[in-house]
Amino acid sequence: MMTVEGLNQYYGGSHTLRGISMTAEMGQCTALLGRNGVGKTTLLRCLMGVLPVASGSVHFEGADITRRSPHERAAMGLAYVPQGREIFARLTVEENIWMGMATKPARDARRIKGEIFELFPVLKEMLGRRGGDLSGGQQQQLAIARALVSEPKLIILDEPTEGIQPSIIKDIERVIRLLRERGDIAILLCEQYFDFARALADRFVVLSRGEVVAKGAKEEMDSPEVRRHLAV
Ligand SMILES: Nc1ncnc2c1ncn2[C@@H]1O[C@H](COP(=O)(O)OP(=O)(O)O)[C@@H](O)[C@H]1O
Ligand SMILES: [Mg+2]
């Protein structure tokens, strides 16, 4: 579904991503693991086209999208749930969800599909509330809902459990598991919370200082080698 090859990125003189190669497959959850500051968010921003890359390539469904704009990528079926949620605090929950449909043709975007409220019942009760008045966990659910209404082929989640209370982490885990079981989407889950990632992942990639230092199937995820790169 998505293939990244030899990707390099710099912030000024600092070589932040060093020859990253990885894939994300349809119907699977790929966990992107690594400590704070290793380059996870930078990589996801490159995949979404928000940051330019110096060299290397990103292919999506066979097409080279390395130089495509974020908008084009969204229209092709990539959706992004940024770290820290970045919902629109002054817009209502309903308006926030509408923003996720911006890439859809008008005829497909006349109403919010009911299934989004089956996944996140709490949002239905809060449609008229301002995004900024929601709890952190509710905002995270809103950010995921906003990404899902574009009906993406690949959803990229940047640390969805960060700063979220355990009961809502469970809700988010349930939703990601459901998406995975449906099998019609690729999930790229960036996490520092190892147990959460392990519960959901089919495959994993570990970053350290901008490099891929380990990758494999979930059976190999709980190894001392992987843990060593995640321990603080
Ligand atoms: N906008 C930026 N300008 C310069 N350096 C940055 C910027 N954003 C992140 N960095 C640096 O790049 C490195 C990787 O950051 P980031 O991708 O946010 O890591 P992670 O998401 O794994 O915590 C860190 O050293 C960070 O300080
Ligand atoms: Mg990050």
pLDDT tens, position by position, 186-195: 999 999 999 9
Amino acid 129: pLDDT:
96
Pocket test for ligand 1, best of 15, 40, 42 (most atoms within 8 A of CB): 42
Starting from the edge strand earliest in sequence, which strands make up the sheet with 211-217, in order?
78-81, 154-158, 186-191, 29-33, 203-208, 211-217
State in Å: Cα 110 to ligand 1 middle: 38
pTM of the model: 0.95
pLDDT at site 232: 58
24 touches 188 (CB < 8 A): yes
- Ligand closest to 210 (CA) is 1
Nearest CA to ligand 1 atom 26: 37
Please say whether the beta carbons of 38 and 198 come within 8 A: no
> What value does the mean pLDDT take over residues 35-45?
97
Structure tokens at 171: 């809700």
CB contact at 8 A, 184 and 138:
no
> Is 80 exceeded by the pLDDT of residue 182?
yes
Our mutation pick for probing the ligand 1 site, out of 7, 9, 16, 50, counting the most ligand atoms within 8 A of Cβ, is: 16
Encoding tokens for residue 42? 């930078």
Residue 42 CA to ligand 2 center (angstroms) comes to 7
Compute, in angstroms, the gap from residue 12 CA to the centroid of ligand 2.
18
Binning pLDDT at 50, 70 and 90, where does residue 112 land?
A: confident
Among protein residues, the one with the nearest Cα to ligand 1's atom 25 is: 37
Q: What digits encode the pLDDT tens for the residues 183-221?
A: 999 999 999 999 999 999 999 999 999 999 999 999 999
Residue nearest to atom 18 of ligand 1 (CA): 41
pLDDT tens readout for residues 53-87: 999 999 999 999 999 999 999 999 999 999 988 99
**42 CA: nearest ligand 1 atom:** 17
Q: Which pLDDT belongs to residue 107?
A: 65
Say yes or no to pLDDT of 130 above 90.
yes
Number of domains into which the chain is organized = 1
Q: Which domain holds residue 47?
A: 2-230
CATH of the domain at 153: 3.40.50.300
Name which of 62, 35, 57, 61 is nearest 46 in CA terms.
57
Phi and psi angles of residue 134, each rounded to the nearest 5 degrees, phi first: -80, 160
Pocket lining for ligand 1, CB < 6 angstroms:
11, 16, 34, 36-42
Residue with the larger pLDDT of the pair 113 and 9? 9
Residue 161: pLDDT band by 50, 70, 90 thresholds? Answer: very high
| Structural tokens at position 38 | 């290793």
Of 22-36, 95-109, 112-126, 159-173, the one with minimum mean pLDDT is 95-109
